[in-house]
Amino acid sequence: MNNMVNVNPQNLQQVLGETSQEKLVLLSFYSAQSPECQSQAAILDKIASEYGEHLLVATLDCDVEQQLAAQLAQQIGLQTLPTLVFLKDSAPVDMLPGAQTEQQVRDVLSKHLPAQHELLLEQAKQALVAQDLNSAFNFAKQAYELDTTNARIKLVLADICIQIHKLDDAQALLDTVGESERDAYYTNIRAKYEQALEATDSPEIKALQLKAEQHPNDLEIKVELATALDTAGRKEEALETLFSILKKDLNFADAKATYLAVIASLPDGDSLAAKYRRKLYSILY
């Protein structure tokens, strides 16, 4: 993990000086002989993984670096282990002596770092730029669950929903953005939504639907229709069409592979994916 470091005489100036000019440094006075220190170290591991570039967790092992620990302890007035010292711009801004709960640590961090929903939103934006839509969706969804009133989070999540063809979700999010919050970004996302919605009912899909009605036993037409529906973002209709094929012929052409590919294209934890996996298992076993 790149935002955790062990403090020693060689890197002390860089960690407590230079690094604290750029981000919050959480200096942990630690001893392996203390069960409280070990429990708190697990909490810090978890927290460090969430705050990335905004936080550096610096551990001073008082058993290994006894002279350095004694020097710093005297400077800050340390009296017990564990102790956490929060530094910004080379100066202490908070201190937590003794064993702390995870919530107590987070309460102090919240005073000096962006809120958790803001961090998640930033991660969602970065994933979106990288075209990692699955991660972007999960980050934005977590941010929205933490703050359901934030218009910027709603719009980023709506943008992602459009790109992964969850148009109903996108519409629901856009509809809850207040008039006073409908800026240029909102207008852009709304336009993308309207364009995506229009594409869901293309002439190609209408023609294939008509052919499928006229030739109900032609499974090849149904595969073409399912593929077109999937491309247009109509995932559930695509899966239902493919499932109707598999019920008749489990090994027809590439229907099963297409079915599984549609499921795989859905975000992690999507209820639609779980539903159609169960339906497939019902005819496999």
Among the three residues 199, 222, 246, which one is the final residue of a domain in this structure?
Answer: 199
Average pLDDT over residues 26-41: 95
Lowest mean pLDDT segment, chosen from 4-13, 92-101, 108-117: 108-117
For 146, the token pair is 């933490």
Q: Is the predicted pLDDT of residue 5 greater than 90, yes or no? A: yes
- Rounded Cα–Cα distance for residues 65 and 62 (Å): 5
**Same domain assignment for residues 46 and 136:** no
Cα 180 vs. chain centroid, distance in angstroms?
Answer: 28
CATH number of residue 26's parent domain: 3.40.30.10
**Same domain assignment for residues 147 and 169:** yes
Strands 24-30 and 55-61: parallel
Neighbours of 229 (CB within 10 A): 23
**Same domain assignment for residues 226 and 255:** yes
Share of residues in the chain with pLDDT > 70 (%): 100
Q: pLDDT tens across 143-189, in order?
A: 999 999 999 999 999 999 999 999 989 999 999 999 999 999 999 99
Q: pLDDT tens across 182-227, in order?
A: 999 999 999 999 999 998 989 999 999 999 999 999 999 999 999 9
Q: pLDDT tens across 114-127, in order?
A: 888 998 999 999 99
**Same domain assignment for residues 174 and 188:** yes
**Same domain assignment for residues 13 and 102:** yes
Sequence-distant (≥ 6) Cβ neighbours of residue 186 within 8 angstroms = 151, 155, 174, 177
* Domain total of the chain: 3
**Same domain assignment for residues 8 and 88:** yes
- Give the model's pLDDT for residue 199: 87
**Same domain assignment for residues 231 and 139:** no
Cα 169 vs. chain centroid, distance in angstroms?
Answer: 17
CATH number of residue 245's parent domain: 1.25.40.10
CB 26 within 8 A of CB 92: no
- Give the model's pLDDT for residue 268: 86
- Give the model's pLDDT for residue 51: 85
Q: Is the predicted pLDDT of residue 1 greater than 50, yes or no? A: no
**Same domain assignment for residues 120 and 137:** yes
**Same domain assignment for residues 151 and 218:** no
Share of residues in the chain with pLDDT > 90 (%): 85
Sequence-distant (≥ 6) Cβ neighbours of residue 185 within 8 angstroms = 152, 155
**Same domain assignment for residues 121 and 141:** yes
Sequence-distant (≥ 6) Cβ neighbours of residue 209 within 8 angstroms = 225
Q: Which domain holds residue 239?
A: 203-284
Average pLDDT for the chain: 93
**Same domain assignment for residues 225 and 245:** yes
- Give the model's pLDDT for residue 53: 81
**Same domain assignment for residues 79 and 123:** no
Among the three residues 147, 176, 199, which one is the final residue of a domain in this structure?
Answer: 199
